[in-house]
Amino acid sequence: MDKTAASLFPPSEMIPEKHRIATAVEQREYLCDGAIRTWAGPLQDVLSPICESVNGSCRQKRIGSYPLLTAEQALEALDAACKAYDHGRGRWPTMSVEERIRHVEGFAYRMKERRDDVVKLLMWEIGKTLPDAEKEFDRTVDYIRDTIGALKDLDRVSSRFVIEQGVIGQIRRAPLGVVLCMGPFNYPLNETFTTLIPALIMGNAVIFKPPRMGVLLHRPLLEAFRDSFPAGVVNTVYGDGRKVIGPLMESGRIDVLAFIGSSRVADTLKKQHPKPHRLRCVLGLEAKNAGIVLKDADLDLAVKECVLGSLSYNGQRCTALKILFVHEEIIDKFLPRFAEAAGKLKGGMPWETGVQITPLPEPDKTKYLKDLIADAQAKGAKVVAGGQVSGTFMSPAVVYPVRPGMRLYVEEQFGPVVPIATFKDIEQPMNYVIDSNYGQQVSLFGSDPTVIAELVDPLVNQVCRVNINSQCQRGPDTFPFTGRKDSAEGTLSVSDALRVFTIRTLVAAKETDLNKQLIKSIVTARSSRFLSTDFIL
């Protein structure tokens, strides 16, 4: 192992004991039809982004393995989910909202008990820093709490009858059926749960497949899933997506696809469904959010937010600032300050205090990033700072000037490389946003209210969030999170998610004496969970 890698990746005995993976996690379990089954077939090795020295060379540490299930197990999970849903007649979809909430609360309670195990695996599987891994866990628990609150609000509004033009109606939101949830590697817990929990609590049955990197961290939660929900309501599948997900989609029995990943994979999955019009999709896809630094921007603030926006979690956020456009009059001031601030970010192991840049989990990621940089260099750009690679680690690279024709100008790098371009006329970054395949967010840095206002109005019609003097981000989770073009389909937020996994359905009756008497009797006897005025307190 070379000297830099050796100083970066500590030998096992130097890792604080509480952060060590004492024995590899050999997962053979998967959850199907209310039981944790044991897989006897082949396993997939899990390699950590954290390297170790083997015979003097730098190798990714093996931290465990998970089942490589086949189509057979995937279809068993599907059968279990379909049986649990039972065309909307199952115990779970017909359960009262209050009862379903109790099940989810029970799950959240059990989940919190496993915080340390999940956090440790987040560090080892995807290289997330300890504070960020803790934040991901806690944010997810808060999301569950807020989802319960939002559902109570929704249910209270639906607990009344409306009478319109002589027709009595009660309108509620009902589940859609079987939901396939697939989250991304960068937020394997949070972004999986921001679809899984709302889908579940609204009465759907769920099959979930963790991302390829970020599987083992779900293992500590399997028992809680098994014990908290009726059999078949939650099922897990692992393995090669083509083998396990293809057959699920081709079956035509998946009602909702909740997928966070690439538009290429999303398109493939959608096309596999034999009746695409039946398939609801909730998709979070790519983005190449631009930061536009105007000539009157507060430079300290712009640098701070741009560093945070482009480099937190190594730039591996869909919301990351993936290109910066800086006005040519201030580039000479901005560039050295930005390069200095990026250079100060501490690199190291996820558990080390103050570390912000960590090893990258995606296979061959540093090679891909080096290729992007080399392409830009060949076309006239320079690496102003960083870009040194040691195994799976790359120090933040600042590349300038990035221009049209360079891969870094258009490709979503999803890593610690910051392309910086300049502009003279605001039409340049504006046209960039218009011409981009993506339409998630943008950040504007400036101080003139007239200029900002003139930019906000067209930009809100290009992207779905314009951030002023602030980095791009998803949160707070009560805000709508979506995108245009290749960036998303459907909107997620605590309350929107309850809507996307349901459909409005109602019971209506002409306002006759017979019907009034009938409805009154049902409500008084509390013999229906739908026709009901019960109010959740």
**Counting contacts by CB under 6 A, is residue 474 touching ligand G3H?**
yes
Please say which residue, 272 or 314, places its beta carbon nearer to ligand G3H: 314
Stretch that binds ligand G3H, among 298-306, 313-321, 450-458, 494-502 (CB under 6 A): 313-321
The residue type of 144 is: I
Stretch that binds ligand G3H, among 94-102, 316-324, 461-469, 483-491 (CB under 6 A): 316-324
Please say which residue, 27 or 263, places its beta carbon nearer to ligand G3H: 263
**Counting contacts by CB under 6 A, is residue 343 touching ligand G3H?**
no
Stretch that binds ligand G3H, among 140-148, 185-193, 195-203, 449-457 (CB under 6 A): 185-193
Q: For residues 106 and 104, what is the distance between their CA atoms, to the nearest angstrom?
A: 5
| Integer-rounded Cα radius of gyration of the chain | 25
Q: For residues 373 and 506, what is the distance between their CA atoms, to the nearest angstrom?
A: 57
DSSP 3-42: HHHHHHS--GGGS-GGGS--S-EE--EEEETTEEEE--S-
In Å, the largest CA–CA distance within the chain is 87
Tell me how far, at minimum, the Cβ of 472 lies from ligand G3H, in Å: 7
Stretch that binds ligand G3H, among 69-77, 354-362, 390-398, 469-477 (CB under 6 A): 469-477
| CB 71 within 8 Å of CB 243 | yes
- The residue written with tokens 């028992």 in the block is 223
Tell me how far, at minimum, the Cβ of 289 lies from ligand G3H, in Å: 10
Tell me how far, at minimum, the Cβ of 370 lies from ligand G3H, in Å: 23
**Counting contacts by CB under 6 A, is residue 465 touching ligand G3H?**
no
Tell me how far, at minimum, the Cβ of 491 lies from ligand G3H, in Å: 13
Q: For residues 156 and 246, what is the distance between their CA atoms, to the nearest angstrom?
A: 40
Residue 503 φ/ψ region, left for φ over 0, alpha for ψ in the -120 to 50 degree band, beta for the rest:
beta
Tell me how far, at minimum, the Cβ of 311 lies from ligand G3H, in Å: 12
Tell me how far, at minimum, the Cβ of 316 lies from ligand G3H, in Å: 8
Tell me how far, at minimum, the Cβ of 186 lies from ligand G3H, in Å: 5
**Counting contacts by CB under 6 A, is residue 475 touching ligand G3H?**
yes
**Counting contacts by CB under 6 A, is residue 186 touching ligand G3H?**
yes
Tell me how far, at minimum, the Cβ of 219 lies from ligand G3H, in Å: 22
ω before 363 within 30° of 0 (cis)? Answer: no
Tell me how far, at minimum, the Cβ of 162 lies from ligand G3H, in Å: 37
Stretch that binds ligand G3H, among 216-224, 312-320, 360-368, 387-395 (CB under 6 A): 312-320
Tell me how far, at minimum, the Cβ of 187 lies from ligand G3H, in Å: 5
Tell me how far, at minimum, the Cβ of 490 lies from ligand G3H, in Å: 14
Q: For residues 159 and 131, what is the distance between their CA atoms, to the nearest angstrom?
A: 42
Q: For residues 486 and 482, what is the distance between their CA atoms, to the nearest angstrom?
A: 11
**Counting contacts by CB under 6 A, is residue 187 touching ligand G3H?**
yes
Using DSSP, state whether 365 is helix, strand or coil: helix
**Counting contacts by CB under 6 A, is residue 192 touching ligand G3H?**
no
Extract the runs of DSSP E, i.e. beta strands, from 23-95: 25-26, 29-32, 35-38, 43-54, 57-67
DSSP 97-108: HHHHHHHHHHHH
Beta bridge pairs of residue 235: 207
Stretch that binds ligand G3H, among 36-44, 322-330, 415-423, 470-478 (CB under 6 A): 470-478
| CB 137 within 8 Å of CB 189 | yes
Tell me how far, at minimum, the Cβ of 318 lies from ligand G3H, in Å: 3
**Counting contacts by CB under 6 A, is residue 441 touching ligand G3H?**
no
- Interface pattern 233-262 for ligand G3H (x via CB under 6 A): ------------------------------
Tell me how far, at minimum, the Cβ of 52 lies from ligand G3H, in Å: 28
Stretch that binds ligand G3H, among 29-37, 146-154, 314-322, 516-524 (CB under 6 A): 314-322
Please say which residue, 120 or 474, places its beta carbon nearer to ligand G3H: 474
Count of alpha carbons within 13 angstroms of residue 6, beta-carbon side: 7
Tell me how far, at minimum, the Cβ of 163 lies from ligand G3H, in Å: 42
**Counting contacts by CB under 6 A, is residue 476 touching ligand G3H?**
no
**Counting contacts by CB under 6 A, is residue 473 touching ligand G3H?**
yes
| CB 326 within 8 Å of CB 335 | yes
Beta bridge pairs of residue 168: 163, 509
Tokens of 164: 């319109």
**Counting contacts by CB under 6 A, is residue 133 touching ligand G3H?**
no
DSSP class of residue 166 equals T
Please say which residue, 65 or 440, places its beta carbon nearer to ligand G3H: 440
Count of alpha carbons within 13 angstroms of residue 222, beta-carbon side: 24
Q: For residues 506 and 170, what is the distance between their CA atoms, to the nearest angstrom?
A: 5
Comparing CA positions, the residue from 52, 60, 48, 57 lying closest to residue 11 is: 52
Q: For residues 43 and 31, what is the distance between their CA atoms, to the nearest angstrom?
A: 16
**Counting contacts by CB under 6 A, is residue 322 touching ligand G3H?**
no
Contacts of 246 (CB under 8 A, 6+ apart): 71, 272
**Counting contacts by CB under 6 A, is residue 318 touching ligand G3H?**
yes
Among 65, 140, 228, 319, binds ligand G3H (CB under 6 A): 319
**Counting contacts by CB under 6 A, is residue 317 touching ligand G3H?**
yes
| CB 361 within 8 Å of CB 213 | yes
**Counting contacts by CB under 6 A, is residue 272 touching ligand G3H?**
no
Alpha helices in 401-474 (DSSP H): 407-410, 427-435, 449-459
Please say which residue, 67 or 483, places its beta carbon nearer to ligand G3H: 483
Site residues (CB under 6 A) for ligand G3H? 186-187, 191, 317-319, 473-475
